[in-house]
Structure 1
């Protein structure tokens, strides 16, 4: 019994430590330097501390100096997010954000298969609730607070399918349209696992399940 209690207290202590670090940072992932790698469009490989800026599609590398790269000269970059947990990968892909013409921009890849990949772009939005709410992220239940005082971490989601990137409207009917052919199976999977059609971690599981269905 004592061993179980000690293990429980240790686990709780680690949880509180991670929570304290996350709140102590008082920063969102894009505002923090992470250990990582940048892979250039011509095969270069850079290792150091990495910070990304999706608003301007820039990524910075800190070694003995700071270098700045654009999405045009980066194939992809990866970071290990020590605060929120997990390795995260961002690919440079051509896309038209404003409807004019396609340019390389960064997308985070949440899950991918032979048929479809789920992508996202995070941004910091104003939070009228002004509270620190917790929510599950894709990689780890300790991914951290979704909101900080006055602001929250938000996401736009995209599906890469048939060599096209399509923005997801967060409407359930559009999800079934994008993941066509298995509406009944996906509906049942969502009900059994209590998954929502507009949450990051749930969308990841739904997309992964769709790829499994296509591979059977």
Structure 2
């Protein structure tokens, strides 16, 4: 639980840098490592593209790796001030055939893991606030982030017993995804004022659930 809380604190430290970058995290080069399926490790500047499930490495040249030949990659996100880890896992997106795609691992335990895939969505609220200035409204690890009429959004998944299931951000379904401790989870959420549809809160809830098991 302490590790999960520390991760949230580290990620929150980069808010001031976030305003200065004026870029979504997938548009920025980060220092990191790529681990390929043939056992090799490549280090340098990394840029990821979850929509196309590729990760690029910039050293003397720019090389592109797909999720099919990468086991995982990790990077130090200077925007948020923390280490982020992504794994290539088989998942079926609209078909019966599962193919490797990248998931960010937010927290994991012996019972289950909370996964995430970020994407840039149209901001239907309009271009108010920082959106008009090309800046950010909030740290996306806690809430919506807007820039020039777009925002950073997230899809969440739970990995349990080798199966990945998407979480639809409904409280009822959260307890179905995390069975067996409804009363303890409800008390924990009320005590810490946690929501069932926010990134940082979901991380804390899942980490606590893994402790209970």
Q: Scaled by the length of structure 2, what TM-score is found?
A: 0.86
Unmatched tracts of structure 1, length 5 or more:
1-14, 139-143
In 1, the alpha carbon distance for the partners of 2:90 and 2:79 equals 30
CA RMSD of aligned residues (A): 1.7
Task: Give the 5 Å matches for 1:173-212.
Answer: 173-212=172-211
* 8 Å CA contact retained: 1:111, 1:118: yes
Query: What residue number does 2:133 align with?
Result: none
* 8 Å CA contact retained: 1:116, 1:160: yes
Greater Rg over alpha carbons, structure: 1
Instruction: Using the TM superposition, give the Cα deviation of residue 65 of structure 1 relative to its aligned residue in structure 2, in angstroms.
Output: 0.3
* 8 Å CA contact retained: 1:39, 1:74: yes
Q: Scaled by the length of structure 1, what TM-score is found?
A: 0.85
**Is the aligned partner of 1:91 residue 2:87?**
yes
* 8 Å CA contact retained: 2:140, 2:152: no
In 1, the alpha carbon distance for the partners of 2:36 and 2:42 equals 8
In 1, the alpha carbon distance for the partners of 2:158 and 2:15 equals 32
Q: Decide which of 120, 125, 128 is 1:124's aligned counterpart.
A: 120
Q: Which has the higher contact order (CA 8 A, sep 6+)?
A: 2
Unmatched tracts of structure 2, length 5 or more:
1-12, 131-136
Q: List structure 1 runs of 4+ shifted beyond 4 angstroms.
A: none
**Equivalences, count:** 193
Query: What residue number does 1:8 align with?
Result: none
Map Cα deviations across residues 94-139 of structure 1 (whole Å, 9 max, x no partner). Answer: 001122310000000000000010000000011122243214627x
Task: Give the 5 Å matches for 1:93-108.
Answer: 93-108=89-104
